[in-house]
Amino acid sequence: MLRAAALGLPVIVMEPLLGGKLATGLPAAARRHFAQADPRVSPASWALRWLWDQPEPTVVLSGMNSAEQLADNLAAASSAAVGMLSEKERAVFAPVVEAVRAAYRVPCTGCNYCMPCPHNVNIPGVFSAYNARHALGMIAGTTQYLTSTNLFSPNGNLGPRNCTRCGRCEAKCPQKIAIPDELAAALRRMEPFWIKPVLSIARKLL
């Protein structure tokens, strides 16, 4: 962003809310920091205001899924200006960033540029569940992982075990994520040794 602005190029910010995670998927510690600073301002507005406070962005592209989100974004944008935040407000972001970094293991925005995987790995789904496991807890993360990888089915074939480290996904990732390495880490965390016996028993019971 800094380099583009220095060259006089327009800076168009995509995924300013990290695929919605900065709006609805923040860890509890990060939400507390924002609420303590100003409970009237939503986490999404905090994130957008941080961008508008910078001199480099030309336009910020934010996706919205409801009329409430549209109204929130419009309200925040109505006061958008470079230097709009006070020093006290800027200081709020430091502990929030630390909380997010501690909770989210992979900076995946779910853009799907890495897809389709030639070996049928649901890469964004795996990373979303892996991050949810750390940010929202074991039950939320595991439930999401079972769904996104189809692991509950005996024919489940969308998980990181299928990764051959071909590198095609990594070459297309705008976040420069070391995808094969992170898939291996997700596999170790999300599929412990006991998961297969438990799923086998669950399938028989159901």
Residue 109 falls within a domain, yes or no? no
**With bands split at pLDDT 50, 70 and 90, how would you rate the model's confidence at 206?**
low
**Are both 98 and 128 inside the same structural domain?**
no
- Out of 57, 72, 103, a domain closes at 103
**Are both 84 and 21 inside the same structural domain?**
yes
**Are both 133 and 88 inside the same structural domain?**
no
- Taking alpha carbons only, the member of 54, 35, 53, 51 closest to residue 43 is 35
Q: Is the peptide bond before 116 cis (omega within 30 degrees of 0)?
A: yes
Total domains in the chain come to: 2
Residue 29 falls within a domain, yes or no? yes
Residue 108 falls within a domain, yes or no? no
**Are both 23 and 91 inside the same structural domain?**
yes
**Are both 71 and 161 inside the same structural domain?**
no
**Are both 84 and 136 inside the same structural domain?**
no
**Are both 6 and 82 inside the same structural domain?**
yes
* Beta-bridge partner residues of 60: 13
Residue 202, pLDDT above cutoff 80:
no
- Out of 71, 103, 135, a domain closes at 103
Give the model confidence (pLDDT) of 55-66 as tens digits: 999 999 988 889
**Are both 31 and 99 inside the same structural domain?**
yes
Give the model confidence (pLDDT) of 100-138 as tens digits: 888 888 989 889 999 999 999 999 999 999 998 888 888
**Are both 95 and 28 inside the same structural domain?**
yes
Q: Which helix (H) or strand (E) holds 59?
A: strand 59-60
**Are both 84 and 173 inside the same structural domain?**
no
Domain holding 9, by residue range, is 2-103
Pairing of β 59-60 and β 12-13 = parallel
